[in-house]
Structure 1
Amino acid sequence: MPHQVHQRKFGRQTGPRKSMLRNLTLSVLRYESVKTTEAKAKEVRKFIDGMIVLGKDGSLVARRKAIGWLPEQEIVEKLFTDLATRYAGRPSGFTRTTRLPRRVGDSAPMMLVELMPGVEEQTGPEAEAKPRRRLALPRRKAAAEKAADAEAKPAKKTTKKTVAKKTAKATA
């Protein structure tokens, strides 16, 4: 008995829920960008990533599984040719979700689900290697760096206004 297996129900029975997720997956693979509600976006990411992993596998079994989930043959071909080559160097993380303003009618939280660009598609500042985030330094090193930064900063210039303010406070 599988415990702690969670999926969103969306207030629907199994058939309509699967159909909705299948159609959302199909739309994202076709248009590479879809605007939907936050809950649906978070749930459909799993299916899109799974389909792209099948496309990267490229075996007959993987193709049959994809055909069983995606009803359109042209999208299956796109998955096994274009998307498989695009994401050949990427092990996971094929989708990006971005928050959008809430929907006007019912104020539902909206998200944009889009496919990430491939490694060869990235150009400009995004394509350059980003410096890795530094790990937290030990306290002594951090304190030493802070002291070095404080010494490197020039002292504030004293102007007539600041001198006048200080003398006014001292006399008051």
Structure 2
Amino acid sequence: MRHKHGYRKLGRTSTHRGALLKNLAIAIIKYEKIETTLPKAKELRGHIEKLITRARKGDFNAHRAVFALLQDKECTKKLVEEIAPKYEQRNGGYTRIIKTRTRRGDAAPMAFLELV
């Protein structure tokens, strides 16, 4: 049982899970809306909201902290200079999950994750 466990393992090792979340975070920053499985979307929501909160300051240290997690210069710049200032007056809740369909191959529940 996983009572109060804290995070979803998503059937991956910790390094694979970290790489997956990093790549999904880069995708949502680049395209602002992605479709993925529901458990991945729910796990990514906390990850991306922490990044946006950190980027809201907009200073050099925010750039460094975000780049340390994303390892992508273009997405870091877009997050700190374009996306994060839009949420300056908002205390969390930067993303929205919309359930869409079940995937035909394995019946996985799919969802859109988008920036509000």
TM-score, length basis structure 1? 0.63
Distance 2:88 2:97 in 1: 21
Match of 1:7 in 2: 7
Preserved contact between residue 62 and residue 80 of structure 2 (Cα < 8 Å) = no
Distance 1:84 1:10 in 2: 28
Over 6 Å off, 4+ runs? none
Equivalent runs, 1:122-133 vs 2, <5 Å: none
Match of 2:50 in 1: 50
Q: Which amino acid aligns with 2:61?
A: V
Q: Give identity over the alignment, percent.
A: 35
Equivalent runs, 1:1-172 vs 2, <5 Å: 4-116=4-116
2:97 match: secondary structure? strand
- Per-residue deviation, residues 91-116 of structure 1 (Å, max 9, x unmatched): 11000000001001111000000000
2:6 match: secondary structure? coil
Distance 2:84 2:36 in 1: 25
Equivalent residues, number: 113
RMSD (CA atoms) = 1.1
1:61 deviation in Å?
Answer: 2.6
Q: Which amino acid aligns with 2:10?
A: F
TM-score, length basis structure 2? 0.92
Distance 1:64 1:5 in 2: 30
Gaps of 5+ in 1: 117-172
2:98 match: secondary structure? strand
Compare relative contact order (CA 8 Å, sep 6+) and give the higher one, 1 or 2: 2
1:37 deviation in Å?
Answer: 0.3
1:67 match: secondary structure? helix
Distance 1:21 1:113 in 2: 13
- Whichever structure has more strand as a proportion of its residues is 2
1:5 deviation in Å?
Answer: 4.8
Match of 1:159 in 2: none
Q: Which amino acid aligns with 1:51?
A: L
Gaps of 5+ in 2: none
1:11 match: secondary structure? coil
Preserved contact between residue 102 and residue 110 of structure 2 (Cα < 8 Å) = yes
